[in-house]
Amino acid sequence: MANLEGRVALVTGAGRGIGRAIALRLARDGADVAVNYRGSEDAAREVVGAIENLGRRAACYQADVGDPAGCDAMLERVIADFGQVSILVNNAGIGSSGIGRPSITEATDEQVQLLLGANLLGPLHLCRALVPHLRQAERSDIVMISSIAAQTMGPRMGVYSITKAGLEALAHTLAKEEREHGVRVNIVAPGLVETDMGRNLISQLPGPDDMRERDAMSPFGYVCQPEDIAAAVAFLVSEDARYITNERITVNGGGF
């Protein structure tokens, strides 16, 4: 198991879903964790409690990642509370199903702005604001939670795909720019994962909208779990991955 003792991770959207699993996994591996949430305050507090039960420090911070001023205020508080941050996981996001899967021509300006803000401009702002601080540590990591949609470019996924492709461009560029400062930047790209977003997506797709019915159709006989994504993130920020940057790990059971 990776030893992250002495490191502090900021995980966005960590009150539930994949972010929750990442926060808990990094804490299990030894990190203290700043738990960002937008609206799920009770869930975020539960994650903080679970991390504290693991013997690690945790606190939760409300901020909409699409709001730069809110992000700046959050970063200031996190650094004041923990003294440092050396892991940023840009996990918070809104799926295509979150806006009803419009086609490119159907999508409204508001829908485009909403997804761009949460999935791309928010992570871009957080990176720009936090990287000068991350450079101070001997080793820092940024992990972007992208999606296979950044490559599959499916119909009615277009706005989402654009944001995730942009997020990956950000990661690849930043990895090259920040290598000399010890900052590793990598991408984890899930396929369908069993979370609220995943459930919402399959309810809008052809085929069963019950995850257990989807298990048999899935690689290895089950729908990918948030913990499977968290394991890939834990590896990337671990000492074992110290020579890995600018990489993309697809966690999709090998595809369909």
253 and 192 Cβ atoms separated by less than 8 Å: no
Q: How far is the CB of 79 from ligand NAP (least distance, A)?
A: 18
What's the CA angle centered on 123, arms 55 and 100, to 5 degrees? 105
Place of tokens 């059971």: 253
Residue 17 or 137 with smaller CB distance to ligand NAP: 17
Q: How far is the CB of 29 from ligand NAP (least distance, A)?
A: 19
Residue of 37, 61, 160, 243 with catalytic role: 160
Residue 122 or 137 with smaller CB distance to ligand NAP: 122
Which residues form the interface with ligand NAP (CB under 6 A)? 12-13, 15-19, 37-40, 64-66, 91-95, 118, 145, 147, 190, 192-193, 195-198, 201
Residue 137 or 142 with smaller CB distance to ligand NAP: 142
Q: How far is the CB of 63 from ligand NAP (least distance, A)?
A: 6
User: Is the four-CA dihedral 120, 163, 46, 231 of positive or negative sign?
Assistant: negative
Report how far residue 124's alpha carbon sits from residue 106's, in angstroms, rounded to the nearest whole number.
26
What are the residue ranges of helices labelled H in the chain? 17-28, 41-53, 68-82, 109-115, 122-134, 149-152, 158-178, 196-203, 211-215, 226-236
189 and 150 Cβ atoms separated by less than 8 Å: yes
Residue 134 or 148 with smaller CB distance to ligand NAP: 148
Q: Is there a catalytic annotation at residue 61?
A: no
Q: How far is the CB of 197 from ligand NAP (least distance, A)?
A: 3
Report how far residue 101's alpha carbon sits from residue 122's, in angstroms, rounded to the nearest whole number.
21
Provide the annotated active-site residues: 160
